[in-house]
Chain A
Amino acid sequence: MNKYDVIVIGAGNGGLVAALELAKSNKKVLVLESHGVPGGMATSFIRGRFEFEASLHELCEYGSKDNQGKIYELFTDLGIVDKIEFVTVPDAYHVYATSTHEEYKMPFGIDNYIEKLESYVPGSKPKVSQLFELLAEVDEALKYLESNKDNIDANYLLEHYANFMKVAPYSVERVFEALSIPKKAQEILATYWVYLGSQTSKLSFVHYGSMLYSYIKYGAQIPKKRSHDISLVLTNEIEKCGGVIKYFSPVKQIIIENDKIRGVRTQDDKEYYAPRIIGDISPNVVYGKLLPKEIVPKQALKLTNSRVLGARGFSIYLGLNQDADSIGLKDYSYFIYNSLNSDKEYEYMSSINDSTVAVVLNRAFPAASLAGTCIMHFTTLFMGDVFDRALTLENYFDLKNQIAKKIIANFEKTTGIDITPYIEEIEIASPVTYARYTKHPDGVIYGYKGTGLDNLLPRIMNMENENFIPNLYLCGGFGVRLSGYSSTYMSGKIAASLALRDMKGDED
């Protein structure tokens, strides 16, 4: 009864995709989740007459039937692409810099994007066009790396993706400079950096570039019934394929016998057995808590300790009692920065800051809330441990309100749009909230900081070497693809394919 082929710990995006991949391959799968609902960050919640999206701003790499991104392909493979209703986000972004009083509004679509940028920064067009050509090559090269990950041919890479090879080790800033893109255009192009949590001087060009390329090429989507719908479609399919999901079932230990994975023990001392485990969970918890100390190799501890925790998240969810038109909210996403220079901005975000990315859900999906109302959410990042240090048990509720007030006031001042009088429902999620629901160390929402040698490429290249415990595969936002919806979905696919490969190896 409690014997499975694979146990998946954690029903986050990675865990659910992994579980469905396995269940579809006729493997007996058990998913154990500590909370009452699936999805991890991908969920929603209700306050009053509003259903709030918990975390998704915009799904990238999805696209549409005629312009399919990687996630569209993944969902097609999983057989769920027709089961989720998406709407398209109208424009790329409206970015403001409060210290210099600048604002730029950028569209989706590569040609439109380049033209608009030319209107803001005359003369930028040739260089920015070259950038997008380079990004197309990067995209192709990444596809090659992914589909040939066991057998990468350096000569083939050199022959076909020479430019990719040249830029691959470098930061966004370095490659933008190498392309001689005008400074102002660089800043506008870098707007999305905050989604990856590190400044462009430290952020891998390949990583950022592939995200920018995907957003501008495929646009962005959001599911009508919130990300909770994606999570439920996944769980529903898993169960249809015979998979079992248990909620309120936190895993306490991974059971090891004769140095081999045997199963897991839950908080209430139930045991479930499987020779393989997929963990949608941070390595900190896996190596520091779930595994017996003697089984964790030194390299695993060294790797984990050498990494830096990424950005902490602070979110405000507002149900407003007027529609977006009446309030004057014209755009879907507002990036409110203090400075467009990401080094300076990163520094600013290392304080209790009021920079924010605000989203008006009804701008992409008018029926996201009842007529005459609209939904907004704000996400602010804290770099480093600034929030942790300000926090005490006693000041917690006040601290949350004070920070939220500052962020909302900054939005109002910068855009000239009043929203406070219309707040009918408000919820605030702090790093404490994220720690509560995700168990991530210090409530980080972006996994490990993805800079330097902990960038996307070195992670991918060393993926197999860093699989320290045989038959234990990690996925999720701390994983090889880093954080974000599309990355974590892909990480689940990778984990499942490794597990399936090893299972096949056992049979052969």
Chain B
Amino acid sequence: MELKGLSKKDMLRFKNLANEREKVIKTEKNLKLDLSYKTNEVAKSLHPTVQYVKVDNIIKENENVKTFVLAPDESLGTTKLAYFQAGQYVSLKVKIGTGIYRRPYSISCSPKYTLKENKYTITVKRVKDGIVSNYLFDKVEIGDQLEISGPAGNFYYQPLRDSQNIIAIAGGSGITPIFSIARAIFDGVIDANMVILYGNKTKNDIIFSEQLDDMVCKTNKIKVVNVLSEDEDTEFEKGFITKDLIDKYLSEENSFFVCGPKEMYQYINEILKEYAIPKKFVRHDLFMSDIETKGDEEYNLLVMYNDMEVNIKCYGDKTLLAAMEEAGIPALSRCHVGECGFCRSKLISGKVKTFDTHLRSADRRFSYIHPCSTYPESDVVIKLPF
């Protein structure tokens, strides 16, 4: 084989590679290993595993809705709240009695507000029998310390996919992420137009009314249409959000952002089907698909974690995560609808039912489950990831 310009001498060079490498390393003068990489700093700042906050203010929006203003709790080491994309949520962790609970709450302020004020707002509706919402409502006061996750979730405007004409459909407290997106449009963080079709029972249920009105007055990019199902008020649309109503605000191409109670999703999905809109133009915030459970039968749940095995009770109509939360087992979770994968655990034995569509194919193969969206149908043994 002819290797032009290469000779036997080059074989010696090969043998010397190791020595040459050693020589070069010896000439290095810097003996300080600097680990402050900008990219890693930004990553840490955007994706903290935990953020310690203090309740800075509480605003009563109406009888059943409160907004909590959260500021970093420097005494526990959080100095700056993570920036986020409008529409994302944080998972709030609280200890109530012997239970440890986590709940996702949409951030209701705009990203710009967080950047400027170093605060988040979350807006909480009191849910009947809701352990966490009632606790927040009745027990939490200004100055209290809370623990939240970094911002998470995929319910945000993505300019490479979404239409610039957004039709937001919000039901009740489902307005919270929509309000944040509206704010971001108003602040110029997002370049889009948005019509908000906002459904409530009565006029008193409407929240953020003044702020929405204010934005509508100051920009053409945002429109708000209130729809009341139980009030006879000439000022507002009456009844439910219908196809006729949506028709009035349709542009040639639209992205629908939908957030509200479960019933509303079903109802709106039926309407959207009539338009035959491609899936890409319909975005849902966290929502649970309907699942038929076999009643509230009691089962045993054995949880393996931290080199321990703990036996607790679980029930056919409650998720495995709910059982663990109540028992004070520190299972991790974020979205609570099987989407984020944070609670991923291994099913060792037992029969379960899940509405989860977000399990990876290999996870399914090896019997991993998302306890947040999985119900027992027999005694169950699961292994947490730690």
A interface with B by C-beta (< 8 Å):
1-2, 36-37, 44-49, 51, 130, 133-134, 154, 158, 162-163, 165-170, 175, 177-180, 224-226, 228-229, 231-232, 236, 246-249, 284-285, 287-289, 298-299, 301-306, 312, 321, 387-388, 391, 393-394, 396-397, 401, 404-405, 408, 420, 422-426, 431-433, 435-436, 439, 441-443, 453-454, 457-458, 461-462, 465
On whether A404 and B385 interact (CB within 8 A), knowing A166-B11, A458-B21, A462-B21, the answer reads: no
- CB of A504, distance to nearest CB on chain B (Å): 26
Find chain B residues with CB under 8 A from A37 CB: 341, 344
Q: List 24 A-B residue pairs with CB atoms under 8 Å apart, sorted by A's residue number.
A: A1-B307, A2-B307, A36-B332, A36-B385, A44-B361, A49-B279, A166-B10, A177-B4, A229-B362, A246-B386, A387-B39, A394-B115, A396-B46, A401-B159, A420-B160, A423-B280, A425-B161, A436-B46, A442-B37, A457-B17, A458-B20, A461-B18, A465-B18, A465-B22
Assembly CA distance A426 to B30 (angstroms): 42
B275 at the interface (CB under 8 A from A): no
Residues of A within 8 A of B366 (CB): 232, 236
Q: Are A169 and B22 touching (Cβ within 8 A)?
A: no
- Looking across the interface, which residue of chain B has its beta carbon closest to that of A319? B280
Bound complex: CA of A175 vs CA of B14, how far in Å?
A: 14
**B28, A303: Cβ atoms closer than 8 Å:** yes
| Measured CA separation A180–B3 after assembly (Å) | 8
- Interface residue tally of chain B, by bracket? 35 or more
Within 8 A of A (CB), among B1-27: 1-8, 10-11, 13-15, 17-18, 20-22, 24-27
* CB within 8 Å for A423 and B160 given contacts A163-B3, A301-B33, A396-B42: yes
Report if B47 contacts A (CB, 8 A). Answer: yes
CB-contact partner of A248 in B14, B40, B161, B386, under 8 A: B386
How close is A55's CB to chain B, nearest CB, in angstroms? 14
Given contacts A165-B11, A166-B10, A284-B33, contact A47 B160 (CB under 8 A): no
In Å, the complex CA distance between A140 and B158 comes to 51
Known: A47-B154, A436-B47. A393 touches B83 (CB 8 A): yes
What are the residues of chain A within 8 A of B113 when measuring CB–CB? Answer: none
Contact indicator B20/A453 (Cβ below 8 Å) = yes
Task: Let me know if B31 and A232 touch, CB within 8 A.
Answer: no
Of all chain A residues, the one with the shortest Cβ separation from B112 is: A394
Provide the residues of chain A in CB contact with B4, threshold 8 Å: 177-180
Known: A51-B360, A391-B42, A453-B20. A441 touches B35 (CB 8 A): yes
Complex interface: chain A residues within 8 A of B158 (CB): 401, 426
**Nearest CB on B from A203, distance (A):** 15
Are B37 and A306 in touch, CB under 8 angstroms? Answer: no
Q: In the complex the two chains form, what is the Cα distance from A45 to B154 in whole Å? A: 13
B209 interface hit (Cβ, 8 Å) = no
Residue pair B33, A287 in contact (C-beta under 8 Å): yes
Question: Does chain A have a CB within 8 A of B365?
Answer: yes
Which residue of chain A lies nearest to B307 when distances are taken between CB atoms in the complex?
A1
How long is the Cα–Cα vector from A298 to B14 in the complex, in angstroms? 27
Q: In the complex, A167→B358 CA distance in Å?
A: 50
Residue B43 CB within 8 A of the other chain: yes
Residues of B near A36 (CB, < 8 A) are 332, 341-342, 344, 385
Q: Are B365 and A229 in contact (CB under 8 A)?
A: yes
Cross-interface CB contact of B161 among A134, A179, A426, cutoff 8 Å: A426
The answer on a CB contact under 8 Å between B40 and A435 is yes
Known: A47-B154, A457-B17. A408 touches B160 (CB 8 A): yes
- Contacting residues, chain B, for A304 (C-beta < 8 A): 33
Among the listed A179, A302, A393, A420, which residue makes an inter-chain contact with B31, where contact means beta carbons less than 8 Å apart? A302
Can you name the residue of chain A whose Cβ is closest to the Cβ of B154? A47
B363 at interface (Cβ–Cβ under 8 A)? Answer: yes
**Given A45-B360, A302-B28, A391-B38, 10 extra CB contacts under 8 A:** A37-B344, A179-B1, A225-B360, A228-B360, A305-B28, A393-B83, A432-B39, A435-B39, A435-B42, A454-B21
Contact A169 B17, CB 8 Å, known A51-B360, A178-B4, A228-B362? yes
B85 at the A/B interface (Cβ < 8 Å)? yes
- Interchain CA distance A405-B25 in the complex, whole Å: 42
Q: A302 to chain B: which residues have CB within 8 Å?
A: 25-26, 28, 30-31
A287 to B33, CA, bound (A): 8
Q: Is the CB of B24 within 8 A of A441?
A: no
CA distance A134 to B154 in the complex (A): 51
CB–CB B85/A321 < 8 A: no
Contact residues in A for B44 (Cβ distance below 8 Å): 436
Bits for B342-386, please: 1 = Cβ < 8 Å to A, else 0: 101000000000000111111101100000000000000000011
Q: How far is the CA of A393 from the CA of B39 in the complex (A)?
A: 10
Question: Could you tell me the distance between the alpha carbons of A260 and B17 in the complex, rounded to whole angstroms?
Answer: 31
Question: Is A167 within 8 A of B35, CB to CB?
Answer: no
**Candidates A46, A154, A394, A433; contact of B83 at CB < 8 Å:** A394
Residues of A within 8 A of B17 (CB): 168-169, 453, 457-458, 461
Top 5 nearest A-B pairs by Cβ distance? A288-B33, A247-B385, A229-B362, A424-B280, A165-B11
Q: Of residues A47, A422, A443, which shows the largest number of chain B Cβ atoms within 10 Å of its Cβ?
A: A443
Q: Is the CB of A424 within 8 A of B160?
A: no
Residues of chain B lying within 8 A (CB to CB) of residue A225? 360-362, 365
Give CA–CA (A321, B276) in the complex, Å.
14
Contact A168 B14 (CB under 8 A): yes
Q: Which of A169, A226, A231: most chain B Cβ within 10 A?
A: A169
CA gap between A302 and B26 in the complex, in Å: 7
Proximity bits, B319-333, A CB within 8 Å = 1, else 0: 000000000000010
User: Is B77 in the interface zone, CB < 8 Å from A?
Assistant: no
Check: B278 CB closer than 8 A to any chain A CB.
Answer: yes
Query: What separation, in Å, do the CA atoms of A45 and B182 have in the docked complex?
Result: 29
Contact residues in A for B5 (Cβ distance below 8 Å):
177-178
- Given A397-B85, A408-B160, A170-B20 contact (CB < 8 Å): no
Minimum distance in angstroms from A398 CB to a CB of chain B: 9
In the assembled complex, how far is the CB of residue B344 from the closest CB belonging to chain A, in whole angstroms?
6
Cα A432 to Cα B37 with chains together (Å): 11
- Interface 0/1 of B288-309, CB less than 8 Å to A: 0000000000000000000100
Q: Which of A36, A51, A304: most chain B CB closer than 10 A?
A: A36
Neighbouring B residues of A44 by C-beta, 8 Å:
360-362
A442 to B42, CA, bound (A): 10
Closest Cβ of chain A to B3, distance in Å, is 4
B386 touches A232 (CB 8 A): no
